[in-house]
Structure 1
Amino acid sequence: MIQDGLRRFAFVTCFVSGGVFACGASALGGDHTIRRKQPDRGTYQPPLLKTSELEPVAVTEAPGLGRREGSSELVDAPLDPVHAPRQGAEPEDRAASLPAPVVLSEDGPAEAPVQTVSYEAIHNAHSPVAPTQHTVQTCSCESCRSGGGHVPMPPVMPPVVDSSSYHYSGQVFDGGCDAAPGCDSQYCDGGGCDSIGCGPLGRFGLTSDDWFGSIELLLMFRSGDRLPALASDGALDDNTTQIFAGRETVFKDMTAGGRLTVGAWLDKYMDRNIVARGWFAGEQTFGFNANQNTHATLVRPFFNVTDGVVPPIDDTRIIATPGEASGELAIRADSNTFGADVSIRQLWYKRQGATVDLLYGYQYMGMDQSLTIVDRATALSDGVRPIGSVLATTDDFDIENDFHGGQLGIATHYREGCWSFSSLAKIGFGSLRRRAVLSGSTFTSIDGNNATVPNGILVRSTNAGTHNDNTFGWVPELDFTLGWQKYPCFDVTFGYHIIAMTDALELSGVVDPNLASNLADPAVGAQRPSTNFRHGTFYVQGIHFGLSYIY
C-alpha cells in the first residue's frame, strides 16, 4: 500500500502540472540549468515523502480504461497515438485524447519504479512509441523557465508516454527558446524548431539549445602613432617655422567596428563548447591637403646628408612660394586592425549561477598601415629650373603585421535574475610576420622632356623595396561584458575590450625619424634613409554594445 500510495502521489503531481513534462530536476538536470537563464540555487529538488504520513487515495476510472476479467486491477484500453493538433484545427474532445494513466496495482509489489525525468530525456518528438510499460516519474519546471514572464507558455497538449520519457507527438517543448509560438502553423512538421522558427538549424537536426552567439558594435581607439614633420613653411632648424603636418599623434580618434561570435555545444551536458569570433576595429585615416591658395609658402623639409654637403644641413623641397613656384601637396595615411580566433572551452568550475571555462585554440590578428606623400611644383621663375618646368615626387609606405599562434585563457559567466556578467582573459603566442613595402619616384618635365626616376625624398635606393621578417610575438586580450535580458532568449550587452600586439611595425618605425636623405644616386657615403626599422607594442581598446543569444 505504501508503494501504491507513492505511485498515486507522483502520478497526480505530474498530471496536475498541465501535461507539460518537459522539465528536469534530476541530478544531471540540476547541473544543466546552470548554463541556462536561472541560477542553480533555485533548482527544484523532489520532496522527501514520509511513508508514515501517506493516506489512501480513491481512484476513479477514466474513459478508455477497463477491468481485467476476474481481477479488480485497472488496465489500458487500446488507444491510437495522440498527435499534436495543427494550428486552426477543430478542437478534440479532451477526455477522449487523454493518454492511458499509470497502472496502479492495489495488490502485490509495484511493477514500475519511481524515477526522475531530466530535461535531457525529452527527445524523439516525431516518432511516438506505443507504451510497453508505465513509469511513475517526478519532474520540476525550474529548468523550464527561460527568463520568467518574458517567454510565453505553450498550449496545454496531451503527452504521449513511452518507456523512457514524456514528449509531445509532432512537437518538442523545452520550456526555453523553442516554445511553440516561435514555430509555424504546422508545428515544425518534419523539421526541428529553433528560436527563429523552423529554419536551417531544424533541417540539420539542431535546436536553439545547440548553439549561442552575439553581434556587437565596437567603438575603438588605437594607441596612436607619431609621425615626423612632413610639411612646413620653412627649414626645421628655423625656430619660426610652422609645421603643417607631422610632429603629431595620428590614428587616435574613435572608429566604429564590429564583432561576431558564434558557438556550439559539443556535449549534451553543456560542459564543452567551441567558439569562433571575428572582429574589426574600423578604418582610421589621416589626411592633409594644401596648395598655394591655402598656404603662401609650402615646403617638404628633410635633412640633406649627401656627400659633398658639409656639414649636412636642413633642406627643403619647395612646393609653393610667392613668385618662385606654385603647387600642391597631399598626405594620406590609414590604419586597419582586425582579428579572429577559434577556441575550445571546457567547463572547470560552476556554483551559485557562476561558471568558469578554460579555453585553448587558434588566434589571428592583423594590423595594416599605409602612408602616401605626393607633391607637385611648377616653376614660376628662372632659377634652379626654367619657368614652366614641373617637379613631382611620391613616397609610399605599406606595412603589414600578421600574427598566427595558439591561445590560452579563461572565460567566466555569472547570471542573477535578468542580469549577467561575463569576462574573458587570454593570451596568444606565436609567429608575427612583419612586412614593409617602400617605393618612391620623381617625375620631371623640362621644356617638354619628361623623365621619371625611382627615388622620392623619404624613399630612395637606400631603403626602397620589400622588407620581410618574422619574430615571436604575444597578443594579450581582456574583455568585460554586462548583460541585461531585455528580450526572451536575448541579452542586451555593454562592455569594455582591449587587445594588444607586441613587437609590431608601424609607420613611425619605417620613416626615418630625422628625415635624413642622401640625394646622390647611387648614394655615396651615408646610407640614408636607412632600413633600421623600429618596433613597439600596438593596442586597440574601446567599448562595445550588442545583442547576445543566451543559453
Structure 2
Amino acid sequence: MANPVQQTAYFGDTNAMGDTFIEGSAASNVSLPAGGGLMSGCGGAGCASGCSDCCGFDDGCGLGTCGSMCGCLGLYGSVEYLMWWEKGDFLPPLVASSPDGTSSENTGVVGFSNALFGDETFNNDLINGFRVTLGTWVNGNNNLGVIGRYFNTEDAEASFSGDSNRFPRLGRPFFNTFTNEEDSLLLGFPDEITGDVTATFRSQARGAEANIRKLYTCGGNYRVDVVYGYRYMGIDESVRIDNTLRFIDPQSIQVGTSIEQFDLFDIENEFHGGELGFMGHSIQGCWAIDFIAKVALGNTTQRTSISGQSITTPATGSALTTQGGLLTQPSNIGMHEDNQFTVIPEFTATASYALTYNLDLSIGYTFLYVNHVARPSNAIDRSVNLTQQTALDGELRPVFPGTDSDYLLQGINFGLNFRY
C-alpha cells in the first residue's frame, strides 16, 4: 500500500511523520500529543505542520527530509504484483477412461474408470495479478483525502484434451435417471467408436474501491485513518466440455455417423456495496509498517448461463442440430440469476523500505473473503434423463441446483510505492 505518511519524512521517533505532525522538532516549537477520534489534526495543530519546518533534519537513513516534504503535491500511490492463491472448486468426474478389458457398458462409468478431468479441486494453485492504488489529500492538513484501488488476477485455466488413440476406452460419466444407475457417454471403444474430448475450467477475479480517508488518531511515529466508501468485486468462472464421437462398427446401422457436442456453464458474480474500515501506518527510520482492515456489505448478483448443443451428421444426408449436450438439456439450459446479501472482509499488512524521498519497495500479505458466490460446482447436475430429447419418460433432469459457495483470495504482494 502506498503511504502518504512517508511523503514528508523518514524521521524515526522524533521528527515529522509525513502527513501527521512534527513532534519535538528543533526547527519548530510545535509539540503535538497523540489525539483520538475523528478530528482535523493532532492536538489542534493538524497532522502536517508545514514544509518550512522540516529542512535540515536527518531522517535516520541519510535521505534528508526537504525533498520529500517541501513542495509536495499530496499525491501517493503504488503498483503491486500479486502472488495469490484462490480457493478452488471441486467438480464431479466429467471425463474418464477405463482399463483394457472393460466392457463397453462399463467404459467411463464411475466405479469402472479413472477420472481424467473432474473428481478433484480445480484452480487452487498460484495465480498472478496486479493492484494499483492512487490517493490524494483534499486539505492542507493531510487529514482528509480520497483513495482508490483496483486489482485484477489473470485468467487462470485448467484443461484436459484426449482422444481414443491415447485412451482407447474413453467416456463421459453421468447418472442415468431413466435406468437409475451410473452410465457413460462413450467417446472411444475399440472397433466401435472413436472420439475426442476437451474440457476447460476458467476463473478470474477483479475488484475496485473508491473511499474517503479521514484521520482518526496519530502520534509521534504512527497514524490511523478511517476509510469508508464503495466497493466492487467481480468473479467469473466457467466450465466447458467439447466432444466428438464417430461410429466405426461396420455392423452398426449408425456407421459413418458423427456427433459433435458441447456443454457450457458460464458464471458471473458481481458485488456492489459499501465498506468501512481502518488504515494504519507506523514508521521507524527507513522502515514502515502498514495495515488495512475493513469489511464491505452489499449485494452479489449471481448469473449462471447454461448452454449446450449437439450436431449429428449421418453418413448420408443433412446434419441435425439439437439443443443440449450431455449435462446440458432443455430442463436446465438458460440464464439463472440470484441475488445474495454478501459480506467481504479484507486484511492487508505491508512492510516497506524507503529507497529515496519519493520511492519505497514493499512486501505484504492480503486476505480477501467472499461469503456468497456462484461457482461451476453449484451449476452442474450430473443426473440426466436423456428421454427428454424425444418423449420424456421419468424425472426431468438435469436441473439447475441453485446453490452457492464461498470464495477466498490470499497471498503475497510485492510493490513499488511513490509520493509526490
| TM-score, scaled relative to structure 2 | 0.84
Report the Cα offset of residue 535 of structure 1: 0.8
* Percent of pairs with identical residues: 28
Report the Cα offset of residue 532 of structure 1: 1.9
Deviations 1:103-138 (A, max 9, x none): xxxxxxxxxxxxxxx98667xxxxxxxxxxxxxxxx
Match of 2:303 in 1: 435
Partners of 1:377 and 1:237 lie apart in 2 by 17
Partners of 2:139 and 2:21 lie apart in 1 by 20
Change (3 A) 1:301 1:550: same
Whichever residue aligns with residue 223 of structure 1, its letter is: K
The structure 2 residue matched to 1:244, chosen from 116, 126, 133, is 116
Match of 2:37 in 1: none
Aligned positions of 1:462-501 closer than 5 A: 462-501=331-370
Normalized per residue, the structure richer in helix is 1
The structure 2 residue matched to 1:507, chosen from 365, 369, 376, is 376
Does residue 375 of structure 1 match 2:243? yes
Preserved CA contact (<8 Å) 1:147 1:485: no
Alpha carbon RMSD of aligned pairs, Å?
2.8
Aligned positions of 1:255-274 closer than 5 A: 255-274=127-146
Partners of 2:167 and 2:24 lie apart in 1 by 72
Does residue 326 of structure 1 match 2:190? no
Partners of 2:280 and 2:176 lie apart in 1 by 58
Aligned positions of 1:376-395 closer than 5 A: 376-382=244-250, 385-395=253-263
Deviations 1:326-355 (A, max 9, x none): 111000111000000011111111012110
Report the Cα offset of residue 384 of structure 1: 5.7
Does residue 398 of structure 1 match 2:266? yes
Preserved CA contact (<8 Å) 1:216 1:546: yes
Report the Cα offset of residue 43 of structure 1: 2.6
Does residue 227 of structure 1 match 2:91? yes
Deviations 1:233-289 (A, max 9, x none): 255766442111110110111111000000000111111111000001222101000
Match of 2:165 in 1: 293
Report the Cα offset of residue 42 of structure 1: 5.6
Does residue 175 of structure 1 match 2:66? yes
Does residue 210 of structure 1 match 2:123? no
The structure 2 residue matched to 1:339, chosen from 207, 216, 234, is 207
Match of 2:62 in 1: 149
Aligned positions of 1:413-428 closer than 5 A: 413-428=281-296
Normalized per residue, the structure richer in strand is 2
Partners of 1:240 and 1:505 lie apart in 2 by 31
Aligned positions of 1:55-94 closer than 5 A: none
Change (3 A) 1:403 1:47: closer
Whichever residue aligns with residue 441 of structure 1, its letter is: Q
Change (3 A) 1:119 1:275: closer
Match of 1:365 in 2: 233
Report the Cα offset of residue 356 of structure 1: 0.6
Q: Which moved more, 1:496-505 or 1:378-387?
A: 378-387
Match of 1:540 in 2: 409
SS in structure 2 opposite 1:548?
strand
Q: Which moved more, 1:214-223 or 1:319-328?
A: 319-328
Structure 2 gaps of 5+ residues are: 1-7, 31-46, 99-105
Deviations 1:160-218 (A, max 9, x none): xxxxxxxxxxxxxx812378xxxxxxxxxxxxxxxxxxxxxxxxxxx643211010000
Change (3 A) 1:265 1:387: same
Match of 1:253 in 2: 125
Preserved CA contact (<8 Å) 2:109 2:174: no
Match of 2:3 in 1: none
Change (3 A) 1:146 1:46: closer
SS in structure 2 opposite 1:508?
helix
Does residue 314 of structure 1 match 2:182? yes
Preserved CA contact (<8 Å) 1:506 1:535: yes
Partners of 2:75 and 2:200 lie apart in 1 by 44
SS in structure 1 opposite 2:124?
coil
Deviations 1:20-64 (A, max 9, x none): xxx99xxxxx9993235x98456336579xxxxxxxxxxxxxxxx
Report the Cα offset of residue 447 of structure 1: 2.2
Deviations 1:68-96 (A, max 9, x none): xxxxxxxxxxxxxxxxxxxxxxxxxxxxx
Partners of 2:187 and 2:253 lie apart in 1 by 13
Change (3 A) 1:263 1:143: farther
Partners of 2:60 and 2:234 lie apart in 1 by 39
Aligned positions of 1:98-137 closer than 5 A: none
Change (3 A) 1:121 1:270: closer
Report the Cα offset of residue 543 of structure 1: 0.3
Match of 1:355 in 2: 223
Deviations 1:484-516 (A, max 9, x none): 11233211000001111111000100011xx11
Preserved CA contact (<8 Å) 2:83 2:413: yes
Preserved CA contact (<8 Å) 1:476 1:501: yes
Report the Cα offset of residue 222 of structure 1: 0.6
Deviations 1:284-314 (A, max 9, x none): 10100001222121111111113xx3xx121
SS in structure 2 opposite 1:177?
helix
Partners of 1:408 and 1:436 lie apart in 2 by 30
Preserved CA contact (<8 Å) 1:147 1:489: no
Partners of 2:61 and 2:194 lie apart in 1 by 73
Change (3 A) 1:328 1:46: closer
Change (3 A) 1:46 1:333: closer
Preserved CA contact (<8 Å) 1:33 1:143: no
How many pairs does the alignment contain? 384
Preserved CA contact (<8 Å) 1:401 1:433: yes
Preserved CA contact (<8 Å) 2:131 2:151: yes
Partners of 2:110 and 2:201 lie apart in 1 by 27
Q: Which has the larger radius of gyration?
A: 1
